[in-house]
Structure 1
Amino acid sequence: MRQRLIYLIKVYALTVILFMVAKVVFMWANHEGHAFSAGDVWDVISHGLSLDLSTALYALIVPFLISIGSIWTESRWLRRILCGYYTIIAIAFTLAFVADTSLYPFWGFKLNAVCLQYFDNPAEIGASVSGLYMAIRLLLIIIGAIAIWWMYFRIPMWDKKPSNKKLSVIGDLLLIPLFIIGIRGGIDESTTNIGQVYYSQEQFLNHSAVNPVFSFLYSLSHQMGDTSKYNYMEEEECEALVKGVFTTESTFSDTLLTTTRPNIAIILLESCGEEFASVMPRLQQLKKEGIYFSQCYGNSWRTDRGTVCTLSGYPSFPSLSVMKMPEKSRSLPSIARTLQQENYKTCFLYGGDINFTNMRSYLISTGWEKLTWKADYTAEEQSTAQWGVRDDITFQTLHDQISKADPTGRLLIGYSTLSSHEPWDVPTKELDDEVLNAFRYLDNCLGDFIDRMKSTAAWDNLLIVLVADHGINYKNIDEQRPLERNHIPMLWLGGAVKGPRTVNILCNQTDICATLLGQMRLNHEDFRFSRDVLSKSYHYPTAVHNYNNAQLLIDSTGHILYDFDAKRFTVSNSKEPERMLRLNKAILQVTTKDLKER
């Protein structure tokens, strides 16, 4: 028994040490923009230890069971099973460590099951980074897996059966409650969770303390399919709280358009948060020519989510992508389907792979009739950017589709740009910073497109709606600076616009559908979560943004960012934080309930 117990202790200790080392590597690899001291490293390790100890017990279950089996037999197949198990563990741990460390600069949160939603199109994932980047990560995974397997395999095992089998069995049985209590995190009502390691006002330190293996497994077992975790209050109270937030009627005061039936182009600008406005002079100029919504905020942090928010006026969710759920997305309201009833022809343009994140299914099922995408271009054009066809080429396509359309007909075009995305591979270089340079390129493409459209007959009856699909983390601007990170431009341009105006009303990109339909004097009651921000009925302006089980709420009293895993504010800048928190929870409860019932 003693040999087996010592063996299990050594395996357990090695696993915990691996988790600690992974934390140090994570902090070192992601130090840019996140200053920390040696004391911070120690704090991260010490505060994250409880989660490491619990997670390590999961990894110890199989060796524990093998040790029990070896009480009665010394058969080699038990050792072979253990050898195979360590191979699996070594690969799994290394994948988690490398993926967690590599994804954090892009996403700003710990590894979780969200990443699985993007693995059905590996080629598109690779488009965000270079081949060398992927090769280095693959090499790290191979080396790391071999090293971890070797360390486990080198721990000396027992060499004989115990002399007293009954005593050994009793000893093993006594260890079972320790496993249960350790994995559970104690005997209190609260079980092991990510929030238990949060200790700092600096979110990077909290994230560093979280065990990536536990984070992934926890999110995998707490998917949004179980919406009961967002039931915070009685349904009547919840509906009462959100009643003033989500108004579906339009009460008109004036109109911004010269016609109620313009041709419409909705352009989603990839990653184009207001944080990049300083390097986009043409966009700044255009704000003075059209209707600029100066207080618009993105609902989410990824293109698939932002696209649904914009085109369906439907909210985003912290832990899932509705676009990836065809059984749900096809039931959503849609600006395309609504305008089809007004005899609009609908088409959508994207220079990338339209099958990525199930975009094709969503677009077709919500009323977009003609899809133009990467496959419709020449092989040479398809290879002009990592993600597909670069923006100057697709802007030309957009120009042709609008200018050559039947002038007596009604047209709705959706278009997503793609060049302002990692790896920022654009054909021009005006700025040294590759990120800023990509947005300058987008700005040039946009300005040139507008200039050429003005010279066409189609301009007079055209409404162009410009909006970013989401903002991004850039240098020290991240989700802990949510107002800067998620502020996005929303601008209406074209000959169908009466004249320049700035609308200083707080809103979300989800409000585009109801606001546009309201200006067109069309009913929009089926867009339950989209508000006509120009209507007199919009009397409680708010904006919501969510990501990775955290949700931002903004109103006239300030803003809060609440982490539902940690069960705490990560940002609280409001005169009434507790009232805002109840409203924040009510919004999440009512939106997830709506999704579940679709």
Structure 2
Amino acid sequence: MFHNLKYLFRHAVLLLVILFFARICFAVAFVPLDVVSSHLSVFPHLLFNVLRFDVQVVCYVLLLPTVLTFVFAALRRPWTDRVLSRFRRIYFSITSMLILMISGIDLGFYANFNSHINLTFFDFFNEGPLGLLQTIWEEYHCVYEAIAFLIVLLPVLWCIRRIERGSVPSVPAASPAPSAGPSVRRRICLSAVLLLYITFLAIGLRGSVWRFPLQIEDTFVSDQKTLNDLVPNAVYMLKKAYKEKKDAFRMENTADLLQQFRFKSLQEALDVYTGGKVKMEGKDTLAALQHALFAEAADTMRLPQPNVVIIYSESWSNYLFHLQRKDAEMYFHLRRHFHDDLLFRNFQSVQNGTVASLENLYVSTPYPRFFASAYRFRLLPTSIALPFKASRYTTMFMSGMDAAWENCAEALLHQHFDAVYDKFHILKDYPRAAYNSIGVYDEYLFQALLGQLEKPSAKRRMIAVMTTTNHPPFEFPRNLKLPPLPESIYHSKCFAEHNRKVLDKYLTGFRYYNKVLGEFLDRFKASAAAKNTILVITGDHNVRSILDYDTVDKRYEHSVPLYIYLPPYLRRPAYRQLTCRWGSHDDIVPTLAPFAFRHTRYFKMGRNLLDTSAPDGIYFSSNVEQMEAAPAYRRQAERRTDARNLLRLVYFGKVLR
């Protein structure tokens, strides 16, 4: 048993060498020396994460021979060592060859697409066998690559053969019966080795001994794309791509969608949504849909364009502000800002998850997990960045998290965001910033945001921001000091969760965020940026799980606040009378459009909440699970939302095909 595990360990080392060799080839081909020399400080972390990814692959490869080794050890037959040795020789030869092959394919894929193997890799197989072979032959240097592959493979096969040499004794000899003493020591030694091996295998498969297993976020170790791309291996990226392909959404045909939303025709849906203003006659379907779903922002303001900041606040609950009492501080500095500016409390998130909310705002997608699909590599006409760029803005996404999360960095750069500024950029610009397992604490994110707004720029800025600290596992700065909450708060009837520790984490996260947001607004309003910047702050979704909606009014189930700060030159007294209107995330861009866009078409999902010419009664709030509107308008709002969702699905189906 012991000697078989020894041979498995040697094969594991060889596999690690193969993966490291592939990494060296990648570095030589794609990582500039000046990037390496200027980022030497990140290399300990980079190499550690490289080892984690490679060890995980090796542990998966070891699973099958490990199981067979344990099974054969239980059989205790003289032929088991010979069979295991032959199996290992064949098995590791095949796996080594596959790893080399996948690594080579990944290098070629990266050379063509500036990306590791991803979902689009599987598009090659849509051509059929002959078409696939023709594509490979025409687009790749097959002969040279085959020679290089053999030059690398042959030494590997020789090493595998050498590892297995002597693994089976040529003449089995009878061993004398060991004495009781050595037998006990041998059993203890074998038990220790087995325990260590199984522990190594378990940790290696998970890729981590910490709270979170190895994940795509661990590929980000710096603010340089090429260094981050050096971290994962080809096998991991192929597995990730396959999972995304397996989980990809399905686009339904128009007939099924009409039946689902209870419309007889697209024209009927167009009539409901546009009030009969768009007709199909003389237009193809796509043109009619574009006419209905896009709007033109005319240059009517005759005022300077402001900077625009849209902050999505993690789990920012509307209802929890109701817990404010003299002995229970919830607002901190926010009460004054809410009073001085515009606060919409009849407001909901459209989606109920963080990435779903981001996707809804940034590309208005009707499909879940869009950033995990192959379509994230395509620029969509619905991208929020496009109308801002057409109106001469620069566009940036900022967050304290690793932007590899849910493919945010990759997706948003393809949607024409000019820059993605994440955890590693903050740590580079603010070396004293602290962080937890989710990302840099929100207080440092806000410091970086204000720093960006204060930088001189020839163009106006649109900055989309995502906070992270108010998120499980709720890890807060060590020096955080909040006034304690009274015991009665934890026994409030509004809570469905009665575990004191759990409640305390949620409430601390909510209060921490309010505190640092209030402090940021204090600093922001004292800065020059306040003179020409619109701030829009809302929650990505409501706080989850802790509220009991049999006690709490159901209107708060998906409710998040919407706070709008307007610079002095854009304020109008009439706006303060409009904050009772119903609204949702879909209304954010239409509300910003008259201030920011100039002769620009944009994808319009909702209404301008600050339109003084529109009656309050036509506003509604559409969450995927809940509709809120004035009772007299509710039925019309539901029908209008159905029409819009149908038209959007048909539009995306035509754009993406």
- Scaled by the length of structure 1, the TM-score of the pair is 0.53
Q: Tell me which residue corresponds to 2:439.
A: 388
User: Is 1:456 equivalent to 2:527 in the alignment?
Assistant: yes
* Residues 101-156 of structure 1: per-residue CA shift (max 9 Å, x gap): xxxxxxxxxxxxxxxx9xxxxxxxx9xx9956989xxxxxxxxxxxxxxxxxxxxx
Q: Tell me which residue corresponds to 2:280.
A: none
Q: Tell me which residue corresponds to 1:365.
A: 414
Matches within 5 A, 1:85-484: 131=210, 223-226=249-252, 229-232=256-259, 233=263, 234-244=265-275, 259-278=303-322, 279-312=330-363, 314=364, 316-317=366-367, 320-327=368-375, 330-378=379-427, 384-406=435-457, 409-427=459-477, 428-430=480-482, 431=484, 433-477=504-548, 482-484=554-556
Structure 1 pair 556/373, CA: closer, same or farther in 2 (3 Å)? same
**SS of alignment partner, residue 242 of structure 1:** helix
Q: Distance in 2 between matches of 1:130 and 1:390?
A: 23
Q: Distance in 2 between matches of 1:366 and 1:588?
A: 22
Q: Distance in 2 between matches of 1:288 and 1:331?
A: 38
Q: Distance in 1 between matches of 2:622 and 2:373?
A: 22
Give the one of 595, 619, 635 matched to 1:519. Answer: 595
**SS of alignment partner, residue 471 of structure 1:** coil
Q: Tell me which residue corresponds to 1:555.
A: 629
Structure 1 pair 507/332, CA: closer, same or farther in 2 (3 Å)? farther
Question: Alpha carbon RMSD of aligned pairs, Å?
Answer: 3.9
Give the one of 580, 585, 589 matched to 1:509. Answer: 585
* Residues 376-411 of structure 1: per-residue CA shift (max 9 Å, x gap): 2449878621201111111111111112233x6422
**SS of alignment partner, residue 464 of structure 1:** strand
Q: Distance in 2 between matches of 1:476 and 1:449?
A: 28
Q: Tell me which residue corresponds to 1:69.
A: none
Give the one of 600, 604, 609 matched to 1:533. Answer: 609
Structure 1 pair 468/347, CA: closer, same or farther in 2 (3 Å)? same
Contact 1:273 1:472 in 2 (8 A): yes
Residue 249 of structure 1: CA displacement? 5.3
Contact 1:265 1:463 in 2 (8 A): yes
**SS of alignment partner, residue 376 of structure 1:** helix
Structure 1 pair 519/429, CA: closer, same or farther in 2 (3 Å)? same
Q: Tell me which residue corresponds to 2:78.
A: none
Q: Distance in 2 between matches of 1:243 and 1:375?
A: 45
Letter in 1 for 2:588: I
Q: Distance in 2 between matches of 1:581 and 1:339?
A: 30
Residue 595 of structure 1: CA displacement? 2.3
Q: Tell me which residue corresponds to 1:589.
A: 646
Contact 2:426 2:445 in 1 (8 A): no
Q: Distance in 2 between matches of 1:451 and 1:383?
A: 22
Contact 1:241 1:583 in 2 (8 A): yes
Letter in 2 for 1:461: N
Q: Distance in 2 between matches of 1:585 and 1:261?
A: 34
Structure 1 pair 338/585, CA: closer, same or farther in 2 (3 Å)? closer
User: Is 1:488 equivalent to 2:560 in the alignment?
Assistant: yes
Letter in 2 for 1:498: R
Letter in 2 for 1:341: A
Q: Tell me which residue corresponds to 1:100.
A: none
Structure 1 pair 448/395, CA: closer, same or farther in 2 (3 Å)? same
**SS of alignment partner, residue 543 of structure 2:** coil
Contact 1:308 1:323 in 2 (8 A): yes
Contact 1:251 1:537 in 2 (8 A): no
Name which of structure 1's ranges 581-590 and 350-359 shifts more when overlaid on structure 2: 581-590
Contact 2:436 2:476 in 1 (8 A): yes
Q: Distance in 2 between matches of 1:511 and 1:355?
A: 28
**SS of alignment partner, residue 346 of structure 1:** strand
> Whose helix fraction is larger, Structure 1's or Structure 2's?
2
Higher Cα Rg, which structure: 2
Contact 1:260 1:521 in 2 (8 A): no
Structure 1 pair 403/585, CA: closer, same or farther in 2 (3 Å)? closer
Structure 1 pair 337/588, CA: closer, same or farther in 2 (3 Å)? closer
Residue 458 of structure 1: CA displacement? 2.2
Contact 2:366 2:645 in 1 (8 A): no
Q: Distance in 1 between matches of 2:344 and 2:522?
A: 21
Q: Tell me which residue corresponds to 2:173.
A: none
Q: Distance in 1 between matches of 2:565 and 2:258?
A: 42
Q: Tell me which residue corresponds to 1:543.
A: 621
Q: Distance in 2 between matches of 1:514 and 1:589?
A: 20
* Residues 495-550 of structure 1: per-residue CA shift (max 9 Å, x gap): 3452672522222212111211123463554314233233346873222111xxxx
Q: Distance in 2 between matches of 1:227 and 1:410?
A: 41
Q: Distance in 2 between matches of 1:583 and 1:342?
A: 29
Contact 2:395 2:419 in 1 (8 A): yes
Contact 2:341 2:566 in 1 (8 A): yes
Residue 422 of structure 1: CA displacement? 1.0
* Residues 271-323 of structure 1: per-residue CA shift (max 9 Å, x gap): 112123242343332121112233221100111121233344x2555xx2233
* Residues 80-100 of structure 1: per-residue CA shift (max 9 Å, x gap): xxxxxxxxxxxxxxxxxxxxx
Residue 356 of structure 1: CA displacement? 1.4
* Residues 30-64 of structure 1: per-residue CA shift (max 9 Å, x gap): xxxxxxxxxxxxxxxxxxxxxxxxxxxxxxxxxxx
Q: Distance in 2 between matches of 1:503 and 1:243?
A: 25
Residue 260 of structure 1: CA displacement? 4.1
Q: Tell me which residue corresponds to 1:54.
A: none
The number of residue pairs the alignment matches comes to 362
Letter in 1 for 2:272: L
Structure 1 pair 530/364, CA: closer, same or farther in 2 (3 Å)? farther
- Scaled by the length of structure 2, the TM-score of the pair is 0.49
Q: Distance in 2 between matches of 1:238 and 1:291?
A: 34
| Structure 1: runs of 5+ lacking an equivalent | 1-116, 118-125, 136-219, 560-573
Give the one of 543, 546, 571 matched to 1:498. Answer: 571
Contact 1:291 1:492 in 2 (8 A): yes
Q: Distance in 1 between matches of 2:403 and 2:295?
A: 34
Q: Distance in 2 between matches of 1:227 and 1:305?
A: 23
Q: Tell me which residue corresponds to 1:171.
A: none
Q: Distance in 2 between matches of 1:343 and 1:221?
A: 37
Structure 1 pair 495/541, CA: closer, same or farther in 2 (3 Å)? closer
Q: Distance in 2 between matches of 1:283 and 1:225?
A: 44
Q: Distance in 2 between matches of 1:470 and 1:134?
A: 25
Letter in 1 for 2:373: M
